[in-house]
Amino acid sequence: MTWPSLLLAAFAVLFIGVAKAGFGGGLGMLVTPLCVLAFGPKHAIGVLLPLLCAGDVFSLYHYWGKWRRDNLRYLLPGAVVGVVIGVQLVGRFSNRQLNVVIGLLAVLFVLFQLAKERLLRAEGAFQPNHAVGLPCGIGMGITSTFAHGAGPVAAMFLVPQRLPKDIFVGTNVLLFAWINAIKLPFFCLDRTMVPLPCFAPASLIDRQTLLLSLKFFPLVPVGVWLGVWLNRRFDERHFLLVILGTLLLTGLQLIFNFDLARLFR
């Protein structure tokens, strides 16, 4: 890996913990685009999942019991269906097409974050139910499989509930811990090992991706600690604006594939 790629990857892995433990995982959309630039789209997805699972474990420790458990009942059935659909679609896209999909998710997430207060304004708090939870769960499963980017869909289901800050973050942590655990067997196994159509043609997590994950693992607990610290001491709005700006630029780079090296010639 080149030094710029190494720094991008290190920042992205560090931000796994910051996003999960600091702001409920929604800002984790920044992680995948940065890792795509560092590792390439197909390797990035496999490298990130073990690190995300590690981030879930450390974050659960800090937010244990601070969640609204009933959201699992509404979202997880659809999430399983979405993961199965997403695994089938990943192998059908080229590197360039995956870049565009992940870039579009990043840009759409920025637009959603900027508009959510107006879009999700209601007279009272939203009461979760299966009618809304099933399609949201399917959307979470698909986007999480493609780009570990289910944050926007989860936010659309959780934000209208007007949960207290700690409960919102804790519910996100619990929800994504389950979804990432569901994804693990689908990412590790392929149809040569388990001849079922629900698995991908080739495993997304292999020896090479695991070695890369291990190299960056020490940054995960550091990021979680930093996320908890930021959550308690910093204004979320100002921090969010910086992250959204970075995410927007990263997403546009993935979509349009600008020749950034030309700026330094």
Alpha helix (H) residue ranges in the chain: 3-17, 23, 31-39, 41-62, 70-90, 95-119, 130-147, 151-158, 165-188, 207-216, 219-233, 236-256
The token duo for 165 is 């800050």
Sign of CA dihedral 248, 253, 258, 259: positive
Crossing angle for the helix pair 70-90 and 151-158, nearest 10 degrees? 160
- 86 CB burial (10 A radius; 0-12, 13-18, 19+): buried
CA angle 64, 69, 73 (to 5 degrees): 145
Looking at residue 240, what is its pLDDT?
A: 63
Give the pLDDT confidence score for residue 104 in this predicted structure: 84
Dist. CA 65–CA 142, nearest whole Å: 27
pLDDT of residue 200: 73
Instruction: Map residue 200 onto helix, strand or coil.
Output: strand
**Residue 243: per-residue pLDDT:** 63
* Beta carbons within 8 Å of 100's beta carbon, 6+ residues apart: 254, 255
What is the model's pLDDT at position 233? 77
Q: What is the pTM of this model?
A: 0.81
User: Would you give the end-to-end CA distance of the chain in angstroms?
Assistant: 21
Q: Residues of the chain whose pLDDT is less than 50? A: 260-265
Tokens describing residue 176: 């994504």
Length of the chain: 265
Position 264 scores a pLDDT of 36
Q: What is the pLDDT of residue 265?
A: 40
Over residues 158-211, the pLDDT tens digits come to 877 878 878 888 998 999 999 999 999 988 888 778 777 777 767 888 888 999
